[in-house]
Amino acid sequence: MAETTRSAGTAAPARTSRTRGAKASGRETGRAATPAPGADVPAGSASGSGADAETLIGYYRQMLLIRRFEERAARAYTEAKIGGYCHLNLGEEATVVGLMAALRPTDYLFTNYREHGYAIAKGITPDRVMAELYGRSTGVSKGWGGSMHMFDKEARLLGGYGIVGGQVPLATGAALAVGYKGGDDVVMCQMGDGTAAIGAFHESLNIAGLWDLPAVFVVINNGLGMGTTVENSSAEPELYKRGAAYRMESARVDGTDVVAVRDAAVLAVEKARADSRPYLLETISPRLKGHSVVDPARYRSKEERDALKAADPLARIALDLAERGILSHDARDALDAEVTAEVDAAAAFADGSPAPDVSTLFDYTYATPVPGELRRLPADPVFSS
């Protein structure tokens, strides 16, 4: 359920003013300048046409878990349990879950700074993700990374990165390494729409196209780079079309439809794996809230805010599952209670976990320690004895 462009010179479907799919999804952002979910994306499946009931309930549960986790994170932030920046996946749950469903456990993932949901969907327990947000030693990065820098070798989450576009060259190199070693894993690289304007994005896609690397670049287009619209930051706002410049197949998909996202991602991942060719996938995935917890999103009009409520992917799948008799109201409530309890437990785990010991401050500067390395606290002399 996606538009695709297959190679340089192949005309991609023209952008139309008609908001296709709007009737099916009942969503419009109200601002023409911002891609609406469903706009330019073929009217998709109602969620679930291509998945069995059990799979769909599994997706719903994961989406709900991420939703409740993020709501809890927002609360913990206002309670000053979480510091620094905190970028939430609220509204992007269908994208997160759909993308991760397309990966094998051995496939690698690089993300940007909006990665809590990805960490959970890639198989890291909410306990360890929440503990990282709390800056505890039990966190996924032992408290060194925080919200933006989660990493787990076993889950093959190779990091959340805070510099826009910084992860794209790294993912390209990881894809090179996979091929160098003769494996057939795929490297997925998640990024936001703002990244498509960055030099590292272009350099990396060029290298991946040139060297036939098994990388799937996924642009999560939520319509805004912080508060700047795609139209105000990109000469070509239909970002998936950039793939053509690098002889890379590309597609755009409705990011509020978990099955559509999964199907598009499966296609991308399969091509990367089978042909060792990179792929560019764009998802239209509005975020429901601001750029980060502290952003009240005043740049949005009332109409846009109202439209966003209708764009909620969690409500969409819940309604769909109810209408098709897959998940009753009671079963949904029970699932919610179960997931909420899991998130409560994660928060309790984080709260009860120890802060990293100050004696470990110098443990992670160098993997191969050397004489002469300063292990000096601010008041210590530089040279003693």
Partner 1 sequence: MATVTYRQALRDTLRAEMIRDENVFLMGEEIGLFEGSYKITEGLLKEFGPRRVRDTPIAEEGFVGAAIGAAMLGLRPVVELMTINFSLLALDQIVNHAAKIYGMFGGQTSVPVVIRTPGGGGQQLGATHSQNVELFYSFIPGLKVVAPSTPAEASAMLKAAIRDDDPVLFLENLALYNTKGELPAGVEDLEPAQIGRAAVTRPGTDITLIGYSRMARVAAEVAETLAAEGVSAEVVDLRSLRPLDRATIVESVRGTGCAVVAEDDWLTYGIGAEIAATIQEGAFDWLDAPVRRVAMAEVPLPYAKSLESAALPSAESLLTAARDTLRATGRLALETAS
Least Cβ distance, residue 122 to partner 1 (angstroms): 14
Asked if 279 interacts with partner 1 (CB under 8 A), we say: no
| x/- letters, 345..364, toward partner 1 (CB under 8 A) | ------------------xx
Contact between 1 and partner 1 (CB under 8 A)?
no
230 binds partner 1 (CB under 8 A): no
Residue 78 near partner 1 by CB under 8 A: no
Please choose, out of 98-106, 177-185, 325-333, 340-348, the segment that lies near partner 1 by the rule CB under 8 A: 177-185
Residues 280-319 that bind partner 1 (CB under 8 A): none
Say how many residues touch partner 1, by CB under 8 A: 51
Site string for partner 1, 205-224 (x = CB under 8 A): -xx--x--------------
Q: Helix crossing, 313-323 with 93-101: angle to 10°? A: 70
N-terminal to C-terminal alpha carbon distance within the chain: 70
Q: Which CB, 135 or 290, lies closer to partner 1?
A: 135
The mark string for 35-64 relative to partner 1 (x by CB under 8 A, - otherwise) is: ------------------------------
Q: Which of 131, 168, 248, 308 binds partner 1 (CB under 8 A)?
A: 168
Q: Is 134:81 a contact under the CB 8 Å cutoff?
A: yes
Asked if residue 278 binds partner 1 (CB under 8 A), the reply is: no
Residue range at the interface with partner 1 (CB under 8 A); choices 86-94, 163-171, 290-298, 335-343 = 163-171
Q: Which of 25, 47, 95, 141 binds partner 1 (CB under 8 A)?
A: 141
Burial class (CB in 10 A: 0-12, 13-18, 19+), 314: buried
**215-221/279-284 β-pairing:** parallel
| Interface ranges with partner 1 (CB under 8 A) | 108, 110, 139, 141-145, 149, 151-153, 158-159, 161, 163, 166, 168-178, 180-181, 199-200, 203-204, 206-207, 210, 363-368, 370-374, 381-383
